[in-house]
Amino acid sequence: MALRFAILGLLLDGPSSGYDLARRFAEVIGAYAWDAKHSQIYPELRGLEEEGLIEVAARGARGRTAYRCTAEGLAELRGWLTTPPESRGGVRNEHALRLFLLPALDHEDAIEVLRHTEAAATAQAERLSQEVLRLQEATGAASGGPLGLTAQYGIGSFRATAQWARSAMDQVAVDARAGRWPGDHPSRR
Amino acid sequence: MALRFAILGLLLDGPSSGYDLARRFAEVIGAYAWDAKHSQIYPELRGLEEEGLIEVAARGARGRTAYRCTAEGLAELRGWLTTPPESRGGVRNEHALRLFLLPALDHEDAIEVLRHTEAAATAQAERLSQEVLRLQEATGAASGGPLGLTAQYGIGSFRATAQWARSAMDQVAVDARAGRWPGDHPSRR
DNA sequence: GATAACATGTAAGAGGTTACATGATTTC
DNA sequence: GAAATCATGTAACCTCTTACATGTTATC
């Protein structure tokens, strides 16, 4: 379901071909919010056109077909955005899973993994901060535009992760000293 | 790939049947880290057994088959945990996507959505805080055990989201007053 | 004896990835 | 003219969800 709305949203920035969309997924949004390959995009575009949510805006060389979002498409997207996701069921977050499984490692390895987590999250937050500055300059908007807002969200998440990792290292060390770290006793689990 | 490691990790807490695992996914871990249904779990258990990563620990009434993690299974899990995810490609986060698409809404609806986001994130953080307190009491560990650590991670993420949403509301308001909010001008996009 | 909970299984289909495949145009 | 890039398509395969299906044991 989400893919079609991602496409509708991207088409609001101007007519795009499947090829254009694939590039924007791969180069930009794929790193922040949602990813998709061309093999998924082209069939979806056909579906969206059949439903009247997008229409052909132009045909160019090499069989290029650019689409635009119709009024119906915009209405559909707005409807989806203003309906809160029912959710509450079924997180599927590999990062969180890895953290949850950390007690399978002995405390030294666990701390090592947390060190990596902390370093990676800090680096990501740093990278996005640069990105936001660049976007604010480029757009002139306080938010740095839609990408700026999303990037700011990413910064907050990564900083929270880094902070959590530091605190978790301490807690693992404390538990390990007290002989309470599960991964140090694989036999009696 | 992740499912098999989730199962191996769960089996470290003691022998479990597919039914037991399904319940733990549905009632606990599914809300924090990873979810799976029994229709996925049973075939995976068969695969893991064929590969020697788990073995039958007991057979009980009603065809119940409990498995335990073998030494090979633990080694496999530890290998996966200590190998950093290559990632860098292909986020698939519906929440982030929704935030990214926010500029498709007029500024009033966008702020309304952000208000919801803020309220929901705050409530989740609150709920998890209670949970951590409970886990710390129950386990006697500073971390509150593996679930406690994962829950703390969740708290940090939700607080970051709530904070971001407050800041985003301000920025949308500023951009809207300056006539720079894209969703207020659907025609000239 | 009925009902709830335990326990496992299969099948159809959506969503997604990787790989294979093809051809047109631009650029050097 | 070769190579890179543009541009689209298909097929096999994996993961996951939903629904259908079946039988057993405990509890009231």
Question: Is the CB of residue A111 less than 8 Å from the CB of residue A165?
Answer: no
Radius of gyration of chain B (CA): 22
Q: Are residues A101 and A72 in the same domain?
A: no
Does residue B189 lie in a domain region?
A: no
* In-domain check, residue B89: no
Which of B43, B58, B82 is where one domain is finished? B82
Indicate if A44 and A126 belong to the same structural domain.
Answer: no
Task: Verify whether the Cβ–Cβ distance B104 to A161 is below 8 Å.
Answer: no
User: Into how many domains does chain A fold?
Assistant: 2
**Is B29 inside a domain boundary?**
yes
Cite the DSSP H helix spans in A15-106: 18-24, 30-32, 38-50, 71-82, 94-100
Q: How far is the CA of B166 from the C1' of C19 (A)?
A: 45
- Residue in chain A closest to B14 (alpha carbons) equals A189
Residue A88: inside a domain:
no
Whether A89 is covered by a domain: the verdict is no
pLDDT in tens, chain B (189 residues): 999 999 999 999 999 999 999 999 999 999 889 999 999 999 999 999 999 999 999 999 999 999 999 999 999 999 999 998 876 667 899 999 999 999 999 999 999 999 999 999 999 999 999 999 998 898 887 778 888 899 999 999 999 999 999 999 999 999 999 998 999 997 654
Find the CB nearest B94 among A85, A168, A174: A85
Radius of gyration of chain A, Cα coordinates, nearest whole angstrom: 22
Q: Is A173 on the interface with B (CB under 8 A)?
A: no
Q: Are B143 and A171 in contact (CB under 8 A)?
A: yes
- Say whether both B143 and B72 belong to one domain: no
A3-29 confidence digits (pLDDT tens): 999 999 999 999 999 999 999 999 999
Distance CA A168, CA B157 (A): 14
Question: Quick one: B173 and B127 in the same domain?
Answer: yes
All residues at 6 or more sequence positions from B71 whose CB lies less than 8 Å from its CB, including other chains: none
Look up the CATH number of the domain holding residue B32: 1.10.10.10
> Do both A69 and A98 map to the same domain?
no
Do both B103 and B175 map to the same domain?
yes
> How do the pLDDT tens digits run along chain A, 189 residues long?
999 999 999 999 999 999 999 999 999 999 889 999 999 999 999 999 999 999 999 999 999 999 999 999 999 999 999 998 876 667 899 999 999 999 999 999 999 999 999 999 999 999 999 989 998 898 887 778 888 888 999 999 999 999 999 999 999 999 999 998 999 997 654
Instruction: Find the domain containing A159 and state its range.
Output: 94-184
Which of A34, A91, A101 to substitute to test the interface with B, most B CBs within 10 Å? A101
Answer whether residue A98 is part of any domain.
yes
Do residue A55 and residue A120 come from a single domain? no
**Does B15 reach chain A within 8 Å, measured CB to CB?**
no
Q: In this structure, is residue A61 part of a structural domain? A: yes
